[in-house]
Amino acid sequence: MAKVEAMMPWKDVPLGGTILEPGNARKFKTGDWRSKIRPVTDKEKCIKCGMCWIFCPDMAYTHREDGYFDWNGDYCKGCGICAKECPKDAITMVAEEE
């Protein structure tokens, strides 16, 4: 349940706390938790295998038409799993400015 929408009177809460809107976790932007580092992909090395997209525990990668994967800061927590799993070491974690 998206945080802002949850602030409703008890009578308006869907039965049993059921979430009626599929995929509304998208509204819950977790990127502001990020630990001041973020992944940067070197397109020269990237083979479009999608391991970053598969392993990302949130939804910080989206698949582009041309086969590459875009990073989205709204959901990235800077965990570095994508960099660890990339078979071509195309992803490096870089420090973010304050």
Partner 1 sequence: MAKRVGMEVSISISEAVKLANVDVISAYPITPQTHIVEHLSEFVSDGELHSAFVPVESEHSAMSAALGASAVGARTFTATSSQGLALMHEIMYLAASMRLPVVMSVVNRALSSPINIWNDLSDIMAERDSGWIQVFAINGQEAYDLTLQAFKIAEDPRVLLPVAVNLDGFILSHVIEPIELFEQKEVDPFLPPYQPVLRLDPEKPVSMGAFGSPEVFIEVKKQVEEALIGSQKVVAEVWKDFGQRYGRVYKPVESYQTKGAETILITMGSITETAMMAIDALREKGRQVGLVHIRLWRPFPFKEFLQAIKGAKTVAVLDRALSPGGVGGPVGLEVKSALFGKEERPYVAEFVAGLGGRDLTVETFIEVLDKAEKYSQKQKDFQYELIGVREK
Is 9 or 87 the residue whose CB approaches partner 1 more closely? 9
Contact between 63 and 50 under an 8 Å Cβ cutoff? The reply is yes
Site residues for partner 1, window 20-79 (CB under 8 A)? 20, 22
- The reply to whether 13 sits near partner 1 by the rule CB under 8 A is yes
- Distance, first Cα to last Cα, the chain: 30
- The reply to whether 14 sits near partner 1 by the rule CB under 8 A is yes
- The reply to whether 8 sits near partner 1 by the rule CB under 8 A is yes
CB of 81 to partner 1, least distance (A): 22
With CB under 8 A as the contact rule, which of the stretches 3-11, 49-57, 72-80, 86-94 interacts with partner 1?
A: 3-11
Q: Is 41 exposed, middle or buried (0-12, 13-18, 19+ CB in 10 A)?
A: buried
Beta bridge partners of 91: 41
